[in-house]
Amino acid sequence: MEPLLSVKNLRVEIPVGTGMLKPVRGISFDLQKGETLCIVGESGCGKSLTSLALMGLLPKVARRSGDHLRFAGQDLLGLKERQMAKLRGQDMSMIFQEPMTSLNPAYTIGDQLTEGMIRHQRVSRAEARDRAAFLLEKVGITAAASRLTQYPHQLSGGLRQRVMIAMSLMCGPDLIIADEPTTALDVTIQAKILRMMKNLQAEFGMAMIFITHDLGVVARIADKIAVMYAGAFVETGTAQQIFDAPTHPYTKGLLSCIPVPGKTERGARLGAVPGVVPSLINGVEGCGFASRCPMRQAACGSEPDLTDRGAEHSCRCVHDTDTLRNMEWEAA
């Protein structure tokens, strides 16, 4: 089946004072209808710029390139800004981390929810408001109709994020890209919103790309996971493969860093991945993780490809799968 979104060799380059910053260095993936892909990585790995590149929302100075970026049969790389704008909000939409700043304080919730739909689908104001009220109820907001006349500052952070989610659903998109949508929220609200998003996905069948650094969130919602490091995917696979049989040293390191209630001994030392992310200015020499990797060797001087390690599972490392599986991070 033709995937909903097919990305091949996506790159982002940003000219900076001392050269060319390469925050996204050739990432590829396919996403089927109704699937959830989680892109997980630490700050500065390029995950947020990846999402902006997919939406065509990169800052003006940044350059996007790639072999193809096919969404529902058309290649987005060749589209003009006007055609892209039509697609955004209509067929693909985005949810940002900060619900405080993504809503305009000068307009009511109702105005902001209906604006895109009225523009994209040429429906009447009343129809759009009906849809908005319907979706506000769907995202678990009580007294939805009366909320339409309220302003963002009258809502709590959790409610605002629900409004953002309702807004992303207004035109019935096929793809939602969510960049850390629950990071700024309290844990109970985070759980409720994630659950609601999964339910809405089951109901409306849209695909989701979920960008986060929180491994707990990833484990609970992802179908497929891509672990991103220094601008490239270092390991991709299903949620089970990544969590139960991680292969790449970085993935294994990350998993050893988080305390797992019931598994990690209370008060014991946690694992650590020493060192820092390499500079992405003018690209990376060899394997980006080599400087922090306990298994580095001479061959790491040239960048390895993402190679298959089983069905749907791939890993960017020179070592063979068995060696990687047996590798253990020493407690720091």
Partner 1 sequence: MTIIDSNEITTAPSPAQQMRRRALRHWGFLIGGGVLGLIILMAVLAPFFAPHDPYAQDLSQRFLRPVFLGGSWEHPLGTDHLGRDYLSRLLFGAQISLTIGFVTALISGVIGTTLGVAAGYFGGRVDTIVMFIITVRLSMPVVLVALAVVALFGGSLTTVVLVLGFLLWDQFAVVMRTSTQQIRNQDYVTSAQALGCTTTRIILTEVMPNILNNLIVIITLEMAHAIILEAALSFLGLGVQPPLPSWGLMIAEGKDMLFFEPFLITIPGIALFVLIFAINLLGDGVRDVTAPENRN
Partner 2 sequence: MSDDIALELSDVTKIYQISQGMFGGTKPLRALDKISLQLRKGEVLGLVGESGCGKSTLAKVLLGLEKPTTGNVRVYGQPFGTHDRRWIARRIQPIFQDPYSSLNPRKSVREIITLPLKVHSVGDSSSWDKEVAKMLDLVGLPQRLIDASPSQMSGGQRQRVAIARALIMRPEVVICDEPTSALDVSVQSQVLNLLIDLRDELGLTYLFISHNLAVVEHIATRVAVMYLGRVIEQAPAARIFDAPKHPYASALLDSILTPDPALGVPDVNLDGTFPNPVDPPSGCTFHPRCPSATALCSAKRPEPVEQAPGFVTCHLHDPEIQKELT
Binding site for partner 2 (CB under 8 A): 42-43, 156, 158-159, 186-192, 194-195, 198, 213-222, 239-240, 242-244, 253-262, 264, 266-267, 269-274, 276, 332
| Smallest gap from residue 164 Cβ to partner 2 (A) | 16
Give, in degrees to the nearest 5, the angle at Cα 266 between 263 and 272.
Answer: 75
Interface with partner 1, residue 268, by CB under 8 A: no
According to CB under 8 A, which one of 61, 258, 272, 299 is a site residue for partner 1?
A: 272
* CA atoms of 135 and 118, how far apart (whole Å): 15
If you ran DSSP here, which 8-state letter would residue 106 be given?
A: T
Residue 67: half-sphere exposure toward Cβ, Cα within 13 Å = 9
x/- letters, 292..311, toward partner 1 (CB under 8 A): x-------------------
- Of partner 1, partner 2, none, which one does residue 33 interact with (CB within 5 to 8 Å by kind)? none
Q: Which is nearer to partner 1, 17 or 261 (CB)?
A: 17
What are φ and ψ of residue 47, in 5° steps? -70, -35
According to CB under 8 A, which one of 187, 202, 268, 276 is a site residue for partner 1?
A: 276
| Bridge-based pairing state of the strands 224-229 and 175-179 | unpaired
- Of partner 1, partner 2, none, which one does residue 123 interact with (CB within 5 to 8 Å by kind)? none
Count of residues interacting with partner 1 (CB under 8 A): 7
If you ran DSSP here, which 8-state letter would residue 191 be given?
A: H
| Smallest gap from residue 272 Cβ to partner 1 (A) | 7
Q: Which is nearer to partner 1, 132 or 277 (CB)?
A: 277
The residue type at 148:
L
- Of partner 1, partner 2, none, which one does residue 258 interact with (CB within 5 to 8 Å by kind)? partner 2
Q: Which is nearer to partner 1, 18 or 142 (CB)?
A: 18
Give, in degrees to the nearest 5, the angle at Cα 19 between 15 and 25.
Answer: 70
Name the burial class of residue 231, with classes exposed (0-12), middle (13-18) and buried (19+) by CB atoms within 10 angstroms of its CB.
buried
x/- letters, 14..53, toward partner 1 (CB under 8 A): ----------------------------------------
| Smallest gap from residue 239 Cβ to partner 2 (A) | 4
User: Furthest-apart CA pair in the chain: how many Å?
Assistant: 66
Q: Which is nearer to partner 2, 242 or 290 (CB)?
A: 242
| Smallest gap from residue 23 Cβ to partner 1 (A) | 18
Nearest CA among 140, 179, 206 for reference residue 198 = 206
- Strand segments, DSSP code E, in the chain are 5-16, 19-31, 36-40, 63-65, 68-71, 74-75, 92-95, 175-179, 207-212, 224-229, 232-238, 306-308, 314-316
Assign residue 230 a region (left: φ > 0; alpha: ψ between -120 and 50; beta: otherwise).
left
| Smallest gap from residue 284 Cβ to partner 1 (A) | 16
The end-to-end CA distance of the chain, in Å, is 46
- Of partner 2, partner 1, none, which one does residue 294 interact with (CB within 5 to 8 Å by kind)? none
Q: Which stretch binds partner 1 (CB under 8 A): 23-31, 69-77, 166-174, 267-275?
A: 267-275
- Of partner 1, partner 2, none, which one does residue 291 interact with (CB within 5 to 8 Å by kind)? partner 1
What are φ and ψ of residue 174, in 5° steps? -90, -20
Contact residues: partner 1, CB under 8 A = 272, 274-276, 291-292, 332
